[in-house]
């Protein structure tokens, strides 16, 4: 019998944009900002002058030319790394599966921030691992409660190996863990011999241009960091990396080699060329500005349509792609999604982000890829659908 492999993407059917549907569902970047003409020239040049290498198999190492781009991007959030610590991936989704396969044995346990990016839970489960929610309070991951949780699970016979989190502009909540908590979490994890997995696709997309120190920067010897070019460049190149302590990186290199033989040398070379020409600052600034504007439009429209005293609660995120709406007295947002589709708007119900279907009283809205003019209309449709479904 086949083992159950769940979808990694959040409700893939909602990514489709038929007719007049306004989709707040899929977490897609807005690629209108890519300098396509310049890129097509760079890619053509790369093919002409370096095609015999860039289109060949490569080794399971980050291409030498791409290392400065990765170290530069990570340094912007206080991270530090070098070629020996880096493992190339075809995006963080692959990185998550590589971690599950390479750094734990089937049956062992991963603690997981909840709600969580569903692709993480799926990857760990596909690797045969057990999942358990990490303790949290109103400020997010709770380092002092972590000790008790791990002690309890271990007393119960579970091998608790890793703690998975997405601490900056989290998918799906948009929340960011405070600097103080990051230090406390790093201390607690080290004390508990728990490896931290830090998934950080959105950290450079803070709306005010500021960044928060990564856990990797705080404790590089006990953090495995997942980086990706999907949100600061484009997901279609399928290019990301893992930064890990050297022995861990070596083990993960072997694991990724089994999965994909070698990374895309072409994608790495294309990104290295983009970095060498100084392309990143203006692209990241443009992305940030665009998402800041769209998030503001969505939050303003939500305030207008749903009010601030009603049953729906949310916080304005300070970066990233997502806004998380929670119903104060509980509601089944899976049911509301059907009403919303009838009104011509889509979102992802919160249950998709729970480890076992929890968070059904919440929903995730993604603002990154909706044209600015459509956002107020989409929120008006959403509000009508929620009101109708609540009273129905
Ligand atoms: N982690 C998180 C938190 C994400 O939101 C995503 C993409 N939505 C990924 C990992 C996977 O990204 P990719 O494979 O494109 O790097």
Average pLDDT over residues 347-362: 94
Peptide bond into 172 cis (omega under 30): yes
Question: Binning pLDDT at 50, 70 and 90, where does residue 12 land?
Answer: low
Can you tell me the distance from the alpha carbon of 296 to that of 324, in angstroms, rounded to the nearest whole number? Answer: 14
Q: Which residues pair with 88 in a beta bridge?
A: 241
Q: Is the pLDDT of residue 389 over 90?
A: no
Question: Binning pLDDT at 50, 70 and 90, where does residue 391 land?
Answer: confident
Residue 150 in contact with residue 185, Cβ under 8 Å? no
Distance 235 CA to ligand 1 centre (A): 9
Query: Which of 26, 123, 171 should be mutated for ligand 1, with most atoms under 8 A from CB?
Result: 171
Average pLDDT over residues 331-348: 92
Atom of ligand 1 nearest to the CA of 10: 8
- pLDDT tens-digit readout, 269-304: 999 999 999 989 999 999 999 999 999 999 999 999
What are the strands, taking DSSP E only, across the chain? 22-23, 86-89, 109-112, 130-133, 136-137, 140-141, 160-165, 195-199, 223-228, 240-243, 312-313, 322-327, 345-346, 348-349, 362-366
Atom of ligand 1 nearest to the CA of 235: 15
Q: Is the pLDDT of residue 20 over 90?
A: no
Can you tell me the distance from the alpha carbon of 348 to that of 47, in angstroms, rounded to the nearest whole number? Answer: 40
Question: Binning pLDDT at 50, 70 and 90, where does residue 83 land?
Answer: very high
Average pLDDT, the chain: 94
Which range among 11-20, 25-34, 177-186 shows the weakest confidence by mean pLDDT?
11-20
Question: Binning pLDDT at 50, 70 and 90, where does residue 329 land?
Answer: confident
Query: Which of 25, 28, 119 should be mutated for ligand 1, with most atoms under 8 A from CB?
Result: 119
pLDDT at 309: 84
Q: Is the pLDDT of residue 13 over 60?
A: no
Q: Is the pLDDT of residue 29 over 70?
A: yes
pLDDT at 262: 96
* DSSP-assigned states of every residue in 304-370: HHH-SSSSEE----SBSSEEEEEETT---HHHHHHHHHHHTEE-EEGGGGSTTS--TTEEEEE-TTS
pLDDT at 8: 76
Q: How many CA atoms lie within 13 A of 286 on its CB side?
A: 14
Distance 159 CA to ligand 1 centre (A): 26
Q: Is the pLDDT of residue 16 over 70?
A: no
Can you tell me the distance from the alpha carbon of 229 to that of 46, in angstroms, rounded to the nearest whole number? Answer: 19
Atom of ligand 1 nearest to the CA of 321: 5
Ligand 1 neighbours (beta carbon < 6 A): 27, 91-93, 117, 119, 166, 171, 199, 201, 228, 230, 235, 240
pLDDT at 1: 76
Average pLDDT over residues 350-358: 93
Helix (H, G, I), strand (E, B) or coil at 198: strand
Q: Are strands 362-366 and 322-327 parallel, antiparallel or unpaired?
A: antiparallel
Peptide bond into 115 cis (omega under 30): yes
pLDDT at 209: 95
Average pLDDT over residues 248-267: 97
Q: Is the pLDDT of residue 338 over 80?
A: yes
Distance 21 CA to ligand 1 centre (A): 24
First to last CA, the chain: 42
Q: Is the pLDDT of residue 11 over 60?
A: no
Can you tell me the distance from the alpha carbon of 29 to that of 171, in angstroms, rounded to the nearest whole number? Answer: 13
**Nearest residue to 391 (alpha-carbon basis) of 350, 351, 335, 347:** 335
Can you tell me the distance from the alpha carbon of 349 to that of 333, in angstroms, rounded to the nearest whole number? Answer: 5
Signed CA dihedral, 28, 352, 118, 202: sign only: positive
Question: Binning pLDDT at 50, 70 and 90, where does residue 97 land?
Answer: very high
- In the numeric block, which tokens belong to residue 13? 């059917």
Distance 92 CA to ligand 1 centre (A): 6
Atom of ligand 1 nearest to the CA of 170: 3
Q: Is the pLDDT of residue 192 over 80?
A: yes
Query: Which of 7, 29, 91 should be mutated for ligand 1, with most atoms under 8 A from CB?
Result: 91
- pLDDT tens-digit readout, 128-181: 999 999 999 999 999 999 999 999 999 999 999 999 999 999 999 999 999 999
pLDDT at 284: 97
Which range among 4-18, 102-116, 255-269 shows the weakest confidence by mean pLDDT?
4-18
Cα–Cα–Cα angle for 299, 173, 330, nearest 5°? 85
- pLDDT tens-digit readout, 136-149: 999 999 999 999 99
Q: Is the pLDDT of residue 14 over 60?
A: no
- Burial call 195-216: b when 16+ CB within 10 Å, e when fewer: bbbbbbbbbbbbbeeebbebbb
Can you tell me the distance from the alpha carbon of 234 to that of 228, in angstroms, rounded to the nearest whole number? Answer: 9
Distance 265 CA to ligand 1 centre (A): 21
DSSP symbol at 137 = E
């Amino acid at each position: 019998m086949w083992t159950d492999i769940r979808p990694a993407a959040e409700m893939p059917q909602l990514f489709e944009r038929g007719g007049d549907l306004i989709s707040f569902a899929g977490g897609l970047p807005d690629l209108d900002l890519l300098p396509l003409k310049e890129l097509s020239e760079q890619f053509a040049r790369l093919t002409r002058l370096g095609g015999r290498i860039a289109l060949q198999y490569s080794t399971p190492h980050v291409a030498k030319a791409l290392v400065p781009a990765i170290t530069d991007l990570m340094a912007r959030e206080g991270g530090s790394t070098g070629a020996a610590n880096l493992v190339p991936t075809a995006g963080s989704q692959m990185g998550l599966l590589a971690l599950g396969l390479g750094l734990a044995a089937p049956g062992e346990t991963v603690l997981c921030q909840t709600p969580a990016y569903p692709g993480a839970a799926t990857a760990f489960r596909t690797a045969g691992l057990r999942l358990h929610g990490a303790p949290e309070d109103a400020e997010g991951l709770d380092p002092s409660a972590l000790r008790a949780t791990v002690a309890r699970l271990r007393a119960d016979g579970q091998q608790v190996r890793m703690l998975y989190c997405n601490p900056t502009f989290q998918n799906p909540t948009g929340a960011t863990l405070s600097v103080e908590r990051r230090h406390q979490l790093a201390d607690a994890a080290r004390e508990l011999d728990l490896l931290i997995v830090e998934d950080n696709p959105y950290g450079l997309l803070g709306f005010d241009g500021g960044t928060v120190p990564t856990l990797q920067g705080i404790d590089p010897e006990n953090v495995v960091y997942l980086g990706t070019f999907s949100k600061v460049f484009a997901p279609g190149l399928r290019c990301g990396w893992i930064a890990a302590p050297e022995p861990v990186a070596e083990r993960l290199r072997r694991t990724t080699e089994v999965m994909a033989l070698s990374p895309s040398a072409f994608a790495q070379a294309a990104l290295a060329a983009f970095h060498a020409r100084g392309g990143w600052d203006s692209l990241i600034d443009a992305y940030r500005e665009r998402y800041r504007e769209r998030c503001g439009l969505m939050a303003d429209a939500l305030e207008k349509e749903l009010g601030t005293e009603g049953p729906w609660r949310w916080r304005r995120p300070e970066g990233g792609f997502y806004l998380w709406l929670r119903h104060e007295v509980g509601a089944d947002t899976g049911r509301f999604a059907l009403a919303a589709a009838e009104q011509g708007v889509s979102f992802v119900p919160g249950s998709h982000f729970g480890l076992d279907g929890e968070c059904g009283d919440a929903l995730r809205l993604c603002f990154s890829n909706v044209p600015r003019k459509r956002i107020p209309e989409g929120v008006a449709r959403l509000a009508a659908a929620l009101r109708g479904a609540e009273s129905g």
